[in-house]
Structure 1
Amino acid sequence: MSETVDFLNHLTSTKCYAYLDNIYKYHGNEGKCEKLKNDFQRYPQIYDFCMSLTGNLDNFNKLKSDGLFDDDRCRYLNFWIYDRLIGMGLDRTSIGSPSIIGKIIDLFTDFKMYEKKCNYDFYLIDRKDYTKMRKLYNYIMDYGIIKYYANGENNYECNTKNVEYIKDGINAYNDIKRDCAQNNQKYYCFAMRDFEKLNNMDDLLKLQCKKIKSEFPSEVARADHLRQGQHAFQGAYDSAGSHVKGSQMELETPDSHSLSTFEIVMSLFFPFLGLLVIFFILYKFTPFGSWLDSNVLRKKKISHNLYEDDEPAEDILDKTYSHMNTPYQSKLHQVGYNSIWNTS
């Protein structure tokens, strides 16, 4: 099935509205429509609408019927009228609405539609309720074609708009049923009753697409590329020997351990080597070297020499204290001297 095929382009309801536009357009009443055109000059489409309407009224019994429920010709004719008035900017809230509604009622009377048991009464319905009704009746009319495609005939795949169209029809019924449960005097409750008379009502409420394709394949492709990139990054990360603790999805191997050890050694060795190079440069080519040599290394050398000559130092101490213990006649002039205390 070609990707350009969309069941929304083949709906029975769409064809029905086009049918009512054109089938008896050239059998309309020109005199009545010229007068209507002059009365409503603000609406240039009013003449064509009138020609189609009067042609349909005059040939009402020849209009197609799908036989789904009683007086379906009249139902769909009313839907068509309401839809075309909205298209011209005329609904219950517009300024010209009362006048045009009166003219349409007159046309129904002129063509004795009361004898054909068809009245123009959709003007009693507000636009919100009309929208619900139209969705429901369109769904009923379109069920055959929707079911064909929704079941995946010819490998058809529903797009997101197809899915929404089906949901809108089902939701319209549920909304109308809920409203009419609270107030069954609302005029549009006949839509619920028509629907519930259908033999296949349960099938209509359960219809779903068996195959659904993405509306935005490019987005899916980008998501796939992103996932592939994440997998590639994860693979490179794992091959370097990095493992997340507690993960049961990765298996450790001897190679991964050896790579991890190597990485750890390198990560310690290179910073240490860098520190040595920096220290060497500072020592050789900056005042830091002179300061270090005169203040730190010199003291270290002196301390080293002292500890290497322990025995002479002990002898000196012994001689010093021995000298101090020798009796002298004149104690005021005796001095004990030790060069160690003066080396600082």
Structure 2
Amino acid sequence: MSSEYDNIPTLTSIRSYYRLDNEFVNQGNYEKCSKYDKDSREYSKPYLLCLRLTGNLNNYEKLEFFDKLNMHKCIYLNLWAYNQLSNFEEEEHSDIRGLIIDNWRESGKFEACSNTQFISYLSKSEDYLKAKRLYDYALNYAKLYLYHEKSSIGCTPKDELYIEKSRTLYNDIKTECEDSRNQWRSYCAAYREIQNFYPHPQLLNLQCKSKVPDVYPHTGKAGQYQEQEDTEPEGDRATHSPEQAQPTLEGELSESSSSGSHKAAATALPILGFLSIGFILHKFTGLGSMARNFLRGRINGMNSHDELTNELLESTYDDQALPGITETYIGYQAT
């Protein structure tokens, strides 16, 4: 499978891992993490990882950005932790494993969320990758279903490829896990766990009812997933104290984020039928308020569509809550 097929900024998984990177980094344990800050000129990668990890653990109860799977957030915190480890050089892995395991154990949140899954992923990175992509598909399913099947919003080629690859992965894992010799593999454990919230074959039924191009011939403009180079200047790095580090730390995040930084030019998709008219699709842009006003006018009196419309509006609010995802997108595909 292509390593890039799941590199779509609007996926729930991408947005969730982005928030794990950034949401509580300023609430990490500066005292404990200071021992990893070896370079006075800039924040080291281990130091930032420590702040992110301790910030997330300190605020574990507030990690409420996993859509319909919030009750399974511990799974995704473990996946995120291993992804962080994978972004370090091989010779650094021993120290980074210790950083993650030690700070997790000392966080006081071990009973609420243990790092057992993280430790299980250490045995084979290929198994972790399959488990992560399967869990990510389960996390992404709700919005994909809402947009592309329930409301018939058109799929871009990247949407369609992601759904196709994810369904293929699901089927392949299902077949492999029927062999008792594979029961111990982490992706088989993931498959069994997913059955608890999306029983087979629900994840296989997702389809694109219509399609739209990535590039519109009449304008020559790219669709919502066009990437461009990061041109924002870095923040100053003058101090590392908790009080002074907070405003400058944000300038480090896009550069040092565990998956690298990209820009995405967010544009709208063309009009597709009544429900997909206009600015529903502008969930990918900064025109959220216009989209909501337009929708409310068009659906007035259409009681049969109330439930779907409410879901779409709620999803639009969710997307507007993190404008930085589309404007300063951090690619967080599985690696």
Q: Give TM-score, length-normalised by structure 1.
A: 0.53
**Alignment pair present for 1:146 and 2:169:** no
Question: Given residue 155 of structure 2, which amino acid in structure 1 is its aligned partner?
Answer: C
> 2:34 is paired with a residue of what secondary structure?
helix
Moved more, 156-165 or 196-205: 196-205
Residues 282-301 of structure 1 show CA distances to partners (whole Å, capped at 9, x for unaligned) of xxxxxxxxxxxxxxxxxxxx
2:166 to 169, 174, 181: 169
> 1:38 is paired with a residue of what secondary structure?
coil
1:14-29 equivalences in 2 (<5 Å) = 14-29=14-29
1:113 to 109, 128, 132: 109
CA contact (8 A) 2:85 2:97 kept: no
- When residues 89 and 100 of structure 1 are mapped into structure 2, their CA distance, relative to the original with a 3 A threshold, is closer
Question: Given residue 99 of structure 2, which amino acid in structure 1 is its aligned partner?
Answer: K
1:129-208 equivalences in 2 (<5 Å) = 129-151=127-149, 153=151, 156-182=153-179, 183-199=182-198, 201-208=200-207
The two structures, once aligned, show a CA RMSD in angstroms of 3.1
CA distance in 1 between counterparts of 2:99 and 2:49 reads 13
CA distance in 2 between counterparts of 1:9 and 1:186 reads 29
> 1:10 is paired with a residue of what secondary structure?
coil
- When residues 75 and 99 of structure 1 are mapped into structure 2, their CA distance, relative to the original with a 3 A threshold, is same
- When residues 24 and 180 of structure 1 are mapped into structure 2, their CA distance, relative to the original with a 3 A threshold, is same
**Alignment pair present for 1:13 and 2:13:** yes
> 1:114 is paired with a residue of what secondary structure?
coil
1:1-344 equivalences in 2 (<5 Å) = 8-38=8-38, 44-64=44-64, 66=66, 72-86=72-86, 88-90=87-89, 94-125=90-121, 126-151=124-149, 153=151, 156-182=153-179, 183-199=182-198, 201-215=200-214
CA contact (8 A) 1:69 1:197 kept: no
Q: Which has the higher contact order (CA 8 A, sep 6+)?
A: 2
Residues 194-251 of structure 1 show CA distances to partners (whole Å, capped at 9, x for unaligned) of 2111246433211110112355776xxxxxxxxxxxxxxxxxxxxxxxxxxxxxxxxx
Question: Given residue 208 of structure 1, which amino acid in structure 2 is its aligned partner?
Answer: Q
CA contact (8 A) 1:68 1:198 kept: no
CA contact (8 A) 1:69 1:194 kept: no
CA distance in 2 between counterparts of 1:25 and 1:144 reads 28
- When residues 14 and 158 of structure 1 are mapped into structure 2, their CA distance, relative to the original with a 3 A threshold, is same
* Structure 1 unmatched ranges of 5 or more: 1-6, 219-344
Displacement after TM superposition at 1:57 (Å): 1.1
CA contact (8 A) 2:183 2:189 kept: no
CA contact (8 A) 1:159 1:215 kept: yes
Residues 15-57 of structure 1 show CA distances to partners (whole Å, capped at 9, x for unaligned) of 2112212221111111222212339x99932222211110111
Whichever of the two has the greater Rg, that structure is 1
CA contact (8 A) 2:163 2:206 kept: yes
Q: Which runs of 4+ in 1 moved over 4 A?
A: 65-71, 214-218
CA distance in 2 between counterparts of 1:132 and 1:160 reads 22
Question: Given residue 163 of structure 2, which amino acid in structure 1 is its aligned partner?
Answer: I
- When residues 104 and 67 of structure 1 are mapped into structure 2, their CA distance, relative to the original with a 3 A threshold, is same
CA distance in 2 between counterparts of 1:185 and 1:42 reads 42
Q: Give TM-score, length-normalised by structure 2.
A: 0.54
- Identical positions, percent: 33
**Count of matched residue pairs:** 207
CA contact (8 A) 2:9 2:15 kept: no
